[in-house]
Structure 1
Amino acid sequence: MSDGSPTPIRERTRRLAQIELTTVAQDLFLEHGYEETTVDQIAAAAGMSKRTFFRYFPSKDDLVIGKYDLFGDRMADALDARPADEPVWESLRRVFDITLDYVQDSQARARNDAMDRIVQSTPQLTARYLEKLQRVQALLIGRVAARLGSSASASDPRPAAIVGAAFACMQAARASWLSSDQSEPFGEYLDRAMGALDVDVDSERRDALGGGQ
């Protein structure tokens, strides 16, 4: 939620059910293949009816792509939880901590990579993935704009540039870590990648608060 309020219990319960369904479905996709796995099989494996399944996801495609919505919501919640006076770039670095397990844990990475291959090999899923990726970044761009006091200015390019640069750093860190001997934690690669850009986007806000020199 953009105002930093706690997520309602009903919504948290819904998210947990979606995460469980996604995990069950991924196991079936990896075992039997995406096209061969039916909604009936997913619902049965999750211990629910097909009708209940559709309360959480409109289709099998939505279940696959839905993980990006869940990931985006987690990132937005993580940014909301950061101190309001923390530098924006530092806040984004801390938000990216939620990616550590996806990269460092070999089992989680194998599952994630397998699902990414399914998405990239299925045209309708690829198109929707690109839409969801834009949504994830948009969730953060709006919050960064609010942090900078530019939420009322749609013409301000800084929020989109900052978030885009942060994601580029994360991808660069991931690629470098995977090509290394992985003796160092992925978090250190993230630190170096984001540290390579000396981003100071909070100077105007500090000045407005009387913290400028």
Structure 2
Amino acid sequence: MSHGEPVPIRERTRRLAQTELTSVAQDLFLEHGYEATTVEQIAAAAGMSKRTFFRYFPSKDDLVIGKYDLFGDRMADALDARPADEPVWESMRRVFDITLDYVRDDQQRARNEAMDRIVQSTPQLTARYLEKLQRVQVLLIGRVAGRLGLPPSDPRPAAIVGAAFACLQAARASWLGSDQSAPFDGYLDRVMGTVTVAETPAD
């Protein structure tokens, strides 16, 4: 599927099912612990068979880490939706708007932080998380290269995407360390505003 094409209905349905399964599983993980929660329990809580579960996720680990695939797909779709003549750095800032609910909503933030602790305390999940994070950035690097008219081998799109994610992490750490009375998007605007990106076309 090329950039900008609508997501087929079947794929949208699949993503919705994966999102629902992930939500159900997270509730069970937080209640019973990751190791103690079985695929059978997750499937039953979601109202499906174990066999159906495996249509969406190959394993319990994949379910936990799969949210980063979904997140990456959402970011890629968001970047595709930005105006083609918009500066790339501004487009990246607008793409990060999809992270705001994960930070501003107290319940969502608490759940995500709990899941992050599970990932960080489970070596195989940590390793796969790093792989998925790299995949998310690769998805965006190709799109940024296309917008700038640069070949995929050019290092500049990777530098832009890497810098944008570093800004996102810095803003999140700063906001979480504050009294959180100021909105997170203000932190994100301020941090990303400290970086100047040259919109350099191909040589």
Q: What are the superposed Cα offsets for residues 28-55 of structure 1, whole Å, 9 maximum, x if unpaired?
A: 0000000000000000000000000000
1:67 is matched with: 67
- In 2, the alpha carbon distance for the partners of 1:182 and 1:130 equals 28
Q: With structure 1 as the length reference, what TM-score do the two structures score?
A: 0.92
Distance 1:2 1:182, change over 3 A: farther
Q: Provide the residue aligned with 2:123 in structure 1.
A: 123
Is 1:134–2:134 an aligned residue pair?
yes
Task: Name 2:100's counterpart in structure 1.
Answer: 100
The gaps in structure 1 that reach 5 residues or longer are 209-213
1:195 aligns with 2:203: no
Residue 144 of structure 1 and its aligned partner are, at CA, apart by 0.3
Name the SS of the counterpart of 1:89 in structure 2: helix
TM-score (norm 2): 0.97
Please name the residue that 1:148 is paired with. Answer: 148
Q: Which runs of 5+ in 2 are unaligned?
A: none
Question: Using the alignment, how far apart are the partners of 1:100 and 1:90 within structure 2?
Answer: 16
Matched residue of 1:204: which SS?
Answer: coil
TM-fit CA distance, 1:198: 1.7
Partner of 1:211: none
Is the 1:75–1:98 Cα contact (8 Å) retained in structure 2?
yes
Structure 1 outlier segments of 4+, above 4 Å: none
Q: Judging changes above 3 Å, is the alpha-carbon distance between structure 1 residues 153 and 143 closer, same or farther for their aligned structure 2 residues?
A: closer
> Does the CA-based 8 Å contact 2:69-2:132 persist in structure 1?
yes
1:153: Cα distance to partner? 4.7
What amino acid sits opposite 2:201 in the alignment? Answer: E
Question: Superposition pairs for residues 9-24 of structure 1, below 5 Å?
Answer: 9-24=9-24
Structure-1 separation of matches of 2:12 and 2:18: 10
SS at match of 1:137: helix
Q: How many residues align?
A: 203
